[in-house]
Amino acid sequence: MFFPRSIPGIMKRFNKYSRHGFMIKKKIDINKVTIILILVLGITCGVSTGLFFALTRDLPQIRALEKFKPSASTRVYSADKVLLSEIFIEKRKPVPISAIPFYLKKAIVSTEDKNFYSHSGIYVKGIIRAIVKNIIERRYAEGASTITQQLAKTLFLTRKKTLTRKAKEAILAFQLERRYTKDELLGLYLNQVYFGSGAYGIESAANIFFGKQVTELSIAECALIAGMPKSPSRYSPLINSDRATKRRNTVLYQMFSDGIINKDEYDQAKNAPLKLAQKTDYSTKAPYFVAYVKKNLESIIGETMLYKGGLNVTTTLSYKMQDTAEQSISKRLEELSKRMKRNGIPNPDPQGALISLDVRSGGILAMVGGTDFTKSPYNRAVSARRQPGSAFKPIVYAYAIENDFQQNMLLLDAPVAFKGSTKGKPWQPENFSNTYMGEITLRKALALSKNIPAVRLIDIIGVSSVSQFAHVLGIRSQLTPYLSLALGSSEVTLIELTSAYAVFPNMGTAITPFGVTHVVDSRGKIIWQAKPVKRIAMSRAGAAVMSNMLEAVVMEGTGRKALSIGRPVAGKTGTTNDYKDALFIGFSPTITTGVWVGRDKSLTLGRGETGARAALPIWIDFMKTALAVRPYQFFDIPDDVKKCRMDSDTGKILPDDSSEGAIALFKK
């Protein structure tokens, strides 16, 4: 075919024909025709260029795939290696292409894209065939996407079926084919594609459907998985095993027809029974703790890394202790509900919370934030601010001991009136028992949880000073500057009150509670590690004296039930007005544990439901199990503390060989 070199050349030929009487009778104006043709050519080029840029201007950079990692779930483990939870947007565990069985790769190619290794991103014959079939059936009956196109769509585009998306898909497929090998593209596809029933990627599919790693799959199992991407919800064996088996056999026949397997392998695989994995409980263990950990990690490593990074998170939690805590709260609150019904309380709905800390590090050993996370994810161990009642008193006594008060000093336990907040209306605190003992030692006043001595003491040493000291110990909540602070009128959280108590067995060192020890990435590299935060909050001598005084609560006072543990332990009960809150916060030399029982609407638990009755039994159940595997240990006594025998009632120091009184510690 002849193509003239220029527009003027065309015009000369037309003029030549016109002189010889051919079709054109009038000589053509060369300039006008030239301009028209140039305009048509320009418009065509402009439209084509505009269309190209419209399709490609917002396409992602394929180079980004060089650093691309498929989204993978993060696993959270307890300190004793129990899997607590998997955190993910898509449940996925990527594997290298070398780990994927030969038959699975061949089955996928045979089923999804038979010409995968020969085309350059799109398969033209397949597209034409699909168009013809869709026109004939007047519906979207058949697709023609190659594996590369499916990968481009999954990674970069939406699933909306439009001509624009298909055009972009084709352009991206060409770019992917130019930059990556076929095996690299197949590996990306198998790690990215959705196989149904929550399985994203081939390793997840092998685990969910067969309870295996992908390397362990048989030919029949490979065929079943290979048949699922076409319609994951339809062909999932967990939804319809018969339909999934028929689809598997169709794939096996395709593999046999393509020469991937021989006749014996085909017959054997076709007749193989479908052995699915036993249903696995993927529910989160220690859900309140896991939610607490997730929230902290989001601020430390970021949401993207946490939910997609395939990390391994090791926590401080002891799963055995956690299990004991959950069982005890369930059992004891059921008993409490029955008592509430007997007391005529309608719709009893008690809640409970527990937090246990390692004394030395601050690591969280157990955390229960409520009775049922699925019904109420609100974490009462961490977020709920409630009045601690008498459980706040040890902070008042600790500040007094730090300021050279001794536990054998006397306070007056008798009715008293203080200037109230309303003019002409004094505040008159009362003892819970409505009885008074006259002069009483600090030790006995704390052991018996007397209100009047505690209020007199805070009046002497100063409310603002006690408030500041409480913050030093670990209380972060705002404390009201009133004398009633001594009786626990200011609301605090269970975790901060428990961490404040931990100062006493930790010889005056305050710790900051934490839940994660370290985070490891998918390559085994530690990307974050906890650094326990410690600070001196009070003297070693003062802390030792306070531990001794709180031992007296167990030996001589409101916490006598804890003697059943048979170990050196100390602690304090707490009960608020109208029995709305019941607490016990206590410790051994190595573990500090706080328990709260109450109702979310701040209603009564019923008459007589004190900290000793409603909360202490949970604490005892937990500490018995926690201490059973630990060596017997006494509380430390530092050098600057002396040990004496004293009369708890009068405060008189007794001879060392006396059989009377109790062993008491004093700052030298």
Is residue 430 within 8 A of residue 450, CB to CB? The reply is no
Catalytic position from the list 328, 390, 490, 547: 390
How many other C-beta atoms lie within 10 A of the C-beta of residue 410? Answer: 15
CA atoms within 13 A on the CB side of 664: 28
Q: Tell me if residue 6 is catalytic.
A: no
Q: In what order do the strands lie in the sheet with 581-587?
A: 364-368, 351-358, 591-598, 581-587, 570-575
Residue 337 falls in the annotated catalytic set: no
* Cβ-Cβ contacts under 8 Å for 359 (sequence gap 6 or more): 502, 505, 506, 511, 587, 588, 589, 590, 591, 592
What torsion, rounded to 10 degrees, do the Cα atoms 236, 240, 241, 244 define? -50
Neighbours of 332 (CB within 10 A): 22
Q: How distant, in Å, are the alpha carbons of 145, 176, 481, 484 from that of 127?
A: 8, 19, 79, 81
CA separation (Å) from 7 to 26, 41, 271?
Answer: 18, 12, 72
Q: 357, 511 in Cβ contact below 8 A?
A: yes
End-to-end CA distance of the chain: 115
C-alpha–C-alpha distance, residues 351 and 596, integer Å: 8
In the numeric block, the tokens 């509380």 are attached to 635
Q: Which position among 71, 78, 112, 547 bears the catalytic label?
A: 112
Query: Helices 182-192 and 147-156, interaxial angle, to 10°?
Result: 50
Residue 561 DSSP symbol: G
- Alpha carbon 442 to its chain centroid, in Å, reads 44
What residues are labeled active site? 112, 390
